[in-house]
A and B are shown apart, each in its own frame.
Chain A
Amino acid sequence: GNSVTQMEGPVTLSEEAFLTINCTYTATGYPSLFWYVQYPGEGLQLLLKATKADDKGSNKGFEATYRKETTSFHLEKGSVQVSDSAVYFCALFTAAGNKLTFGGGTRVLVKP
Chain B
Amino acid sequence: SQTIHQWPATLVQPVGSPLSLECTVEGTSNPNLYWYRQAAGRGLQLLFYSVGIGQISSEVPQNLSASRPQDRQFILSSKKLLLSDSGFYLCAWRDTGDNTIYFGEGSWLTVV
Chain B interface, >50% SS class: strand
With an 8 A cutoff between CB atoms, is B100 at the interface?
yes
Inter-chain CA distance A88–B46, complex, in Å, is 17
Which of the listed residues B34, B51, B103, B104 has the most CB atoms from chain A within 10 Å of its own CB?
A: B103
The size class of the interface chain B forms with chain A is 20 to 34
Cross-chain contact of B43 among A51, A99, A102 (Cβ < 8 A): A102
> Mask for A83-95, Cβ within 8 A of B = 1, else 0?
0000001000101
Which of the listed residues B32, B101, B102 has the most CB atoms from chain A within 10 Å of its own CB?
A: B101
Cross-chain contact of A43 among B42, B43, B105 (Cβ < 8 A): B105
Cβ B105 vs Cβ A105 within 8 A: no
Given contact pairs A42-B105, A43-B90, A43-B105, A99 touches B100 in the complex (Cβ within 8 A): no
**Chain A residues with CB under 8 A of B98:** 32, 49, 51
| B contact residues vs A (CB 8 Å cutoff) | 32, 34, 42-44, 46, 49, 51, 59, 90, 92, 94, 98-106
